[in-house]
Amino acid sequence: MTMTPTTDLTSLMQVIGDGFPFTQEKYPNGDLSTPEKTLAFAVRHSSAHIAKTGGIIAAQAENYDHGGELDPEALRMATTKMLVNTLNLANALGMTAQDLVSLVPSAMR
C-alpha cells in the first residue's frame, strides 16, 4: 500500500479508508454480509486496535511511574496508530472531516 502523507484531514481520511477498507478480502473471517454487520465489525475491530494502542501508551506511563524511561518513538507510533484507527472508524461511520471538526468543541467540553 502506497500512502501519500498529507496534513489535509479529508485527504488523510481518504488515504486511510483506501488503505484499510472493511472488505471480506481484507478480513476473511469477519461477517461483512450486510451493511449493518460490516459497521458492527468496523466498530469492534477499530475499538480493539484503539484499545491496543491505548495499552501501549498506558504501559509507557506505568513504566515511567515506576522509575523507567518513556520511549518517545513508541509513544509517537502508538499515537499515530490510534489516529489512523480513529479516522478509519469515522470513515466507517460515514463521518466526514467536517463532521469531525464540527464536533471537536462539544467533545472538548
**pLDDT tens profile 65-107:** 999 999 999 999 999 999 999 999 999 999 999 999 999 999 9
Name the pTM for this structure.
Answer: 0.89
- Judged against a pLDDT cut of 80, whether residue 5 lies above it is answered with no
pLDDT of residue 7: 81
pLDDT of residue 50: 97
Residues 35, 43 contacting (CB under 8 angstroms): no
The separation between CA 45 and the C-alpha centre of its own chain, rounded to angstroms, equals 10
pLDDT of residue 6: 72
CA-CA distances (angstroms) from residue 87 to 11, 40, 44, 90, 104? 11, 16, 14, 5, 14
Residues 89, 43 contacting (CB under 8 angstroms): yes
Return phi, psi of residue 83, to 5°. Answer: -65, -45
Residues 80, 95 contacting (CB under 8 angstroms): no
User: How many other CB atoms are found less than 10 A from the CB of residue 13?
Assistant: 19
- Judged against a pLDDT cut of 60, whether residue 1 lies above it is answered with no
User: How many other CB atoms are found less than 10 A from the CB of residue 52?
Assistant: 13
**pLDDT tens profile 38-69:** 999 999 999 999 999 999 999 999 999 999 99
